[in-house]
Amino acid sequence: MDAQQSLDRALQRGRTSVRARLARLRTNGWHIAQCSAAAGVAWFLAADVLGHPMPFFAPVAAVLCLGTSYGQRLRRVVEVTVGVAVGVFIADLFVLLFGSGAWQLAFVVAASMSVAFLLDAGRLFVTQAAVQSIVVTALVAEPGAAFIRWTDALVGGAVAIVAATVVPRAPLRRPREQAAVVVRKIAALLRGASEVMVDGDVDRALSLLADARTTDVLIRELQDASDEGLSVVASSPFRLRHRGGIRRMAEIVEPLDLALRNTRVLVRRAAVAAHRREPVPRGYSILCADLADAADLVAKELSSNRMAVHAQPALLEVARGSSQVERGTDLSGEVILAQVRSIVADLLRITGMGVIESSDAIPPAPR
């Protein structure tokens, strides 16, 4: 039986791994296409337009410069472009004057990195300057073709800068999609806690608590998606009209973080109550289930690329219910009720309410 369960878990992990890899490929499909197209364009410009016989550095520079995430992408593309150009230029000049060899390579690397640091460059800039100087020094150019490689590097960098301003819609959708993932997780945890309050299953409660404690990564991914979206609208002139929507999504990261934290506290208290056999009022379980349904509505709105205004009535209904429910006497139950009310306030902020407005929307708790 144990062997069968282990095999089933292994197969499930395998299927999950394949799905995750395919999802990663789909997510990066645009970046792959962008780099390959930029490499081809850079080669075409250097070879067919400028007539360079072997423009190796044009596609290399283009791919190197585009090999960054969307976050701060345009700045990094420019940084790497200049770094590549500096390294190639210094190496070409030195090899032209002193030839190629071990001491020449060491000197060129030191000179390229020193110039990069003098230009107040970032570490990426300095590294690219060093790497390109090594390649140029090791691969001696044909007579009369030394500075052609520097020109090729500039061509590749210029193509990369233009390509970096053309971004897909995916980074603009990701903040809403990731926010919906977070809210759906909140709903699932609330629904699980509601069931634990009814059946008191300790093993199930501990499993739910372990699941809740792994959710920090969801907020980090949401923050990364928000930062990426802001960077895209800042760097691409073609996406400026999306700036307002992306900024609004960035503003809901904090309330979502608070809602998830409060949900973890609620799940922990539900697990404690199950472990200690403390009775939890039936009304608290119903409130958690209703709040889970309201959270699903919020997630649905976010997935549909809308602010979750239409989920407000459901959240306000849960808020009213929390002020009318019959109170318990144990500490765990009181913590659960307090967390339900806090989560409602956090989710109301996602529907467009301010901090004070969302707090005022929750009636006083019953005495």
- What is the per-residue pLDDT across 283-326, written as a single tens digit (0 to 9) for each? 999 999 999 999 999 999 888 877 778 889 999 999 999 998 88
Kindly state the average pLDDT of the residues 82-109.
Answer: 75
How far is it, in rounded angstroms, from Cα 115 to Cα 119?
6
Q: Which CATH superfamily is domain 170-360 in?
A: Phosphate transport system protein phou homolog 2; domain 2 (1.20.58.220)
Backbone angles phi, psi at 225, to 5 degrees: -65, -40
Given a cut of 60, is residue 136 above it in pLDDT? yes
pLDDT digits (tens, 9 = 90+) for 146-193: 567 778 878 888 888 787 766 554 455 677 788 889 999 999 999 999
Confidence category of residue 1, pLDDT binned at 50, 70, 90: very low
Q: What is the dihedral of CA 32, 153, 233, 247, to 10 degrees?
A: 90
**Do residues 170 and 48 lie in contact, with contact meaning Cβ atoms separated by under 8 Å?**
no
Residue 239's closest CA among 176, 168, 159, 179? 168
Does the model's pTM come out above 0.75?
A: no
How far is it, in rounded angstroms, from Cα 141 to Cα 129?
18
Residue 258's closest CA among 110, 365, 358? 358
Kindly state the average pLDDT of the residues 79-108.
Answer: 74
